[in-house]
Amino acid sequence: MSLLIDEDRVDLAATFESLTAEAAALRTRVTELRQELADLGERMNVISTALNRHGPCR
């Protein structure tokens, strides 16, 4: 019985470490995506301003 408990603890610890690493990777990716969205928003603003300066196309 003690062997099963020890194995469960090892499995639990490994699962915890794996999930912790995955959570850190996901946090990093979310930060990257937020920055990409901010960059995209800025590019859209620049394009919108340029289009508004030139007026409607004929």
Per-residue pLDDT of 16-57, as tens digits, reads 999 999 999 999 999 999 999 999 999 999 999 999 998 776
* Res 58 pLDDT > 70: no
How is residue 56 annotated by DSSP? Answer: -
- Dist. CA 24–CA 50, nearest whole Å: 39
Block residue for tokens 């995955």: 22
